[in-house]
Amino acid sequence: MGKYVELNSSNFNDTIAKGVTLVDFWAPWCGPCRMIAPIIEELAEDFDGKATIAKVNTDEEQDIAIQYGIRSIPTLLFFKDGELVDQMVGAAGKEVLADKLDSLLRAVYPPVQLCKNENSPP
């Protein structure tokens, strides 16, 4: 079963370094953050083995929040191989987040195109 990764200053860079990572910046007192928490947990299960789903508690990890200019929460950052490629501010639905992750995964792992041999049947 997939579970989201709790990020801090010691594991943040290593976690986002490879593949696709969604990072949810949140705080315990934030109502909209609590609303999307179950969605983040579902995404962690749905994308287990395909993408990393992670969370940063901005009250505890202020340095990371400052580094990425987080001014309001929830803020969702999307990384591909350590590079910030997109962000969303505010609560978003599961379908929107899953579509974004799917599109980033397709960019990382493009579909294989098989070449047809001219002697092969149509």
Q: Which residues pair with 67 in a beta bridge?
A: none
The pLDDT of residue 113: 56
Q: Considering the domain boundaries, does residue 93 fall inside one?
A: yes
Distance in angstroms (rounded) separating the CA atoms of residues 113 and 110 = 9
| Sign of the CA dihedral with 46 first, then 47, 48, and 52 last | negative
Domain range spanning residue 96?
5-107
pLDDT per residue as tens digits for the range 69-82: 999 999 999 999 99
Q: Considering the domain boundaries, does residue 20 fall inside one?
A: yes
CATH code: domain of residue 45: 3.40.30.10
Q: Considering the domain boundaries, does residue 118 fall inside one?
A: no
What's the structural domain count of the chain? 1
pLDDT category of residue 107 using cuts at 50, 70 and 90: confident
The pLDDT of residue 114: 54
Q: Output the CA–CA distances (angstroms, integers) from residue 100 to 53, 60, 71, 95, 116, in the order listed.
A: 13, 27, 22, 9, 32
Task: List, by residue number, the catalytic residues.
Answer: 30, 33
Q: Considering the domain boundaries, does residue 121 fall inside one?
A: no
Q: Considering the domain boundaries, does residue 114 fall inside one?
A: no
* Predicted confidence (pLDDT) at residue 23 exceeds the cutoff of 70: yes
Q: Considering the domain boundaries, does residue 116 fall inside one?
A: no
